[in-house]
Structure 1
Amino acid sequence: MFAIVRTGGKQYRVAAGDKIVVEKIDGEAGASVTLGDVLLAGEGSELRSVEGFTVAAEIIAQAKADKVIVFKKRRRHNYRRKNGHRQQHTILKIVSLGGEQSKSSAGNAPAAQA
């Protein structure tokens, strides 16, 4: 079974046991998170309804991406600026697909992802 989930403004195709790298999600290593923004779910060529469908994941680590160097220069104006940036991300392990989400906690799920 697979699902397409949206978190951090990006979409990921996940299955049980997969490891994915997503934008930073608050939480310590070993904590459980629920991804409630499921766009598509199915098995093989059959698709399922995603109403109340959730994806359970476990945080493996909080990490940083490789450094990106930003260099700006304007010719003949003695203008040079060098800056670096390391994006923070979270490594998730997908535990299970298809957990039912109650109506009362449906409003709280996007806050847990941010």
Structure 2
Amino acid sequence: MYAIVEIAGQQFKVAKNQKVFVHRLQDKEGSEVTFDNVLLLDDGKVTIGAPAIEGAAVTAKILKHLKGDKVIVFKKKRRKGYKVKNGHRQYLSEIQIESIVASGAKKAKKEAPKKEAPKKAEPKVAATPKPAAKKAPVKTASADDLRKVEGIGPKIAEIFAEAGIDTFAKLAKASQKELKAILEGAGSRYASKNPGSWPKQAKMAAEGKWDELKKWQDETKGGIEA
């Protein structure tokens, strides 16, 4: 029995007890995760989703978090004197497939709603209008725009997001040593960046002190304190 399932934006053909390397997951080592975006299932009979199979799921256990082998990217333009060499190590998670559930391969039939007998119209009574209640704002959990921190561009924000730092609060709690290690792992192009003031700026952003942050950025050069 095997299944084709989407995990962290990639599709894998998996079977029970198989070990797979996937893009870094947010859960801790030793925890169990469930993936319900099953595209194909073969348990003696092949079932194809449209696009996913309803009710089917793959359960796995996170064995460890690690970084992949270094990949060297070298670019050169002839007769232009242009040479660029970068290294990259992808953040990965090793998982082991625990079980494949195929309960959703057959969709349950929905019963047709029963028709009720028409009700007799009742005389309308004028009611006093009630003031409309104000709806509470719905909060949505999402990642913050780390580019508002002076010195962080789109690529560095993407690198931090892959490492699990995607909000101002997480960036504020990170140490300079931890941020430096993430940048060095992304290649020599980012190893020279100075993240010393980034947690301080992120703390002001997380607390909503935008005016104070703007004033601080105006008084410093490139987000680097003298």
TM, length-normalised to structure 2: 0.41
SS at structure 2 position matched to 1:66 = coil
Moved more, 33-42 or 67-76: 67-76
2:99 alignment partner in structure 1:
96
2:22 alignment partner in structure 1:
22
Distance 1:51 1:75 in 2: 54
| Alignment-mate amino acid for residue 37 of structure 1 | N
2:46 alignment partner in structure 1:
47
Distance 2:78 2:54 in 1: 56
1:106 alignment partner in structure 2:
none
Match of 1:87 among 85, 90, 93: 90
Unaligned runs of 5+ in 2: 105-226
Between structures 1 and 2, the one with greater helix share: 2
**1:78 shift after superposition:** 2.7
Tell me, yes or no, if the aligned pair for 1:56 and 1:99 is still in contact at 8 Å.
no
**1:95 shift after superposition:** 0.5
Unaligned runs of 5+ in 1: 102-114
After TM superposition, the runs of 4+ consecutive aligned structure 1 residues lying more than 6 A away are none
TM, length-normalised to structure 1: 0.76
Between structures 1 and 2, the one with greater strand share: 1
| Alignment-mate amino acid for residue 34 of structure 2 | T
Distance 1:27 1:72 in 2: 36
Distance 1:78 1:48 in 2: 55
**1:100 shift after superposition:** 5.8
**1:30 shift after superposition:** 0.3
SS at structure 2 position matched to 1:76 = coil
Match of 1:76 among 75, 79, 85: 79
Larger radius of gyration: 2
**Higher RCO (C-alpha 8 Å, min separation 6):** 1
Aligned residues: 100
2:2 alignment partner in structure 1:
2
Q: Percent identity?
A: 42
